[in-house]
Amino acid sequence: MKWTKTELLNLQGQIQFDEDVEFDKDTFKMNARLRDLHDIHVSGVGYFGPSSNEFEVELEITGIMECPCAITNESVDVPFDTCCHEVFSFVDTDDVDVHVVKNEIIELIPVIFQLINLEVPLKVVKDGPIDYPKGNGWQIMSEEDYEKSKGSQIDPRLAKLKDFKIEND
């Protein structure tokens, strides 16, 4: 999914694409919230306006992202589906929503990866029973378990108030 300006001029009209995309494992090294991507499919249509020097693309991106569970750090598959409208310009512009094309080549793969990153959830918890981690002197517990263990314990800072008697005159 890479086009030069001359290719776009020669095509005259719309460009339709429907492709599967793969990303290299090195792409995810610096991203703590995204471990891998599977079954990425990109479809869309693009139109080049020679008078405006802009290439507009309607994209639909679907696939499965592998994210770490916030509790156990196990990998969790999260399906996603996103649609977007992107504009590429062959001339400099101050519009922050427009991608300025360098070297007269439009490449969609980096833009697709940015759009997928926008879909990564802040927190993922795996389905089903969770084995909460624990160690020497600490453990992670669910809120329900915490409420059960807390029971009717009195805060030690407020324990002396129990002995306080109010006298009415």
pTM of the model: 0.75
Q: What is the pLDDT of residue 134?
A: 82
**Alpha-carbon span 80 to 141, nearest angstrom:** 30
Q: What is the pLDDT of residue 57?
A: 93
154 against 91, higher pLDDT: 91
Q: What is the pLDDT of residue 8?
A: 84
Q: pLDDT tens digit string along 9-63? A: 887 778 899 999 998 888 888 888 899 999 999 999 999 888 888 899 999 999 9
Q: pLDDT tens digit string along 90-119? A: 888 888 888 888 888 899 999 999 999 999
pLDDT band at 169 (very low <50, low <70, confident <90, very high): low
Specify the DSSP element, H or E, that contains 23. none
* Percentages of the chain per state (helix, strand, coil), in multiples of 5: 20, 40, 40
DSSP state of 25: G
**Alpha-carbon span 47 to 56, nearest angstrom:** 5
**Alpha-carbon span 51 to 48, nearest angstrom:** 9
φ, ψ at 22 (rounded to 5°): -125, 145
Q: What is the pLDDT of residue 30?
A: 83
Q: What is the pLDDT of residue 67?
A: 94
φ, ψ at 156 (rounded to 5°): -60, -25
Domain residue ranges in the chain:
2-119
Q: What is the pLDDT of residue 118?
A: 92
**CATH class of the structural domain 2-119:** alpha beta
**Other Cβ atoms closer than 10 A to 84:** 15
Q: What is the pLDDT of residue 152?
A: 66
Name 19's bridge partners. Answer: 42
